[in-house]
Amino acid sequence: MHIMVTNDDGIHAPGILALAEALRELGTVTVVAPDRERSAAGHSLTLHSPLRVFELREGFYAVDGTPTDCVNMGIHSLLPVRPHLVVSGINHGANLGDDVTYSGTVAAAMEANLMGIPAIAVSLSTYERHGHFDAAAQVAVRVARQVLANGLPADTFLNVNIPDCAADEMQPPLITRQGMRSFVGKIVDKTDPRGRKYYWIGSEEPDLHDEPGTDFHALNRKHVSITPLHLDLTNYESMKILSGWTL
């Protein structure tokens, strides 16, 4: 088995190192990841500037691009074979609900899914460098083993979120749906040392809708949350309503 690993926190992040190390149990692992933090890059693709690749050591490639660039570089150029699986993570911070559209971690799995390769995004619910990445990596291995053995339903990739706790405190995985939050946006404006204004996109603590069956609900109760995602964003119910419009 050949597994490609990527992330959006950069190739030196503890999460990607723990993940790559653990997945070696299942096969050969090649890491292709951004050379720096690219969180919230979403599904962005670099089309108007060249990309550079740095082989840091055997099977470890840093790319000066986005997570989506890394998947393209890995599959079409750097890996010796087409991988059986792409795993993106372990992200520092959960990727839940509406936030999945911002996530570079989730987008990398989405890109692999578009290429017809089974893919998993894995996130740990912490921003600490010393989170329980090893326990999370063991969860990733278990999910990856299932995907390699059984495949995934058509047009489906997995968004896995893991509570930041020791393995013996963790509750069993639940299959969940994508939740929602009420976002309270905020722009912080300040003045730089040369007297010019600058702005920073901030936010209040998000108000997560803690509804049973959702990713939030599972993670809040220390369950591993596994949400099957697909790229079809069509709102089918709305199609019926809009088809009644006079256009």
DSSP 177: B
Interface stretch with Mn ion, choices 39-47, 58-66, 70-78, 218-226 (CB under 5 A): 39-47
What phi, psi does 139 have (nearest 5°)? -65, -45
Which residue's CB is nearer to Mn ion, number 18 or number 26?
18
Which residue's CB is nearer to Mn ion, number 26 or number 100?
100
Cα–Cα distance measured from residue 82 to residue 58, given in angstroms and rounded to the nearest whole number: 18
Where does the chain have alpha helices with state H?
14-23, 67-73, 104-114, 133-150, 215-220, 236-242
Interface stretch with Mn ion, choices 31-39, 126-134, 135-143, 209-217 (CB under 5 A): 31-39
Which residue's CB is nearer to Mn ion, number 72 or number 91?
91
Q: Would you count residue 9 as binding Mn ion (CB under 5 A)?
A: yes
Q: State the number of binding residues for Mn ion (CB under 5 A).
A: 4
Q: Which of residues 63-102 bind Mn ion (CB under 5 A)?
A: 91
Q: Would you count residue 164 as binding Mn ion (CB under 5 A)?
A: no
Cα–Cα distance measured from residue 226 to residue 215, given in angstroms and rounded to the nearest whole number: 7
Both structure tokens of 94: 């959960």
Which residue's CB is nearer to Mn ion, number 121 or number 143?
121
In the complex, the smallest distance separating the C-beta of residue 78 from Mn ion, rounded to whole angstroms, is 21
Cα–Cα distance measured from residue 10 to residue 28, given in angstroms and rounded to the nearest whole number: 20
Among 4, 5, 8, 224, binds Mn ion (CB under 5 A): 8
Cα–Cα distance measured from residue 98 to residue 14, given in angstroms and rounded to the nearest whole number: 25
Question: Which residues contact Mn ion (rule: CB under 5 A)?
Answer: 8-9, 39, 91
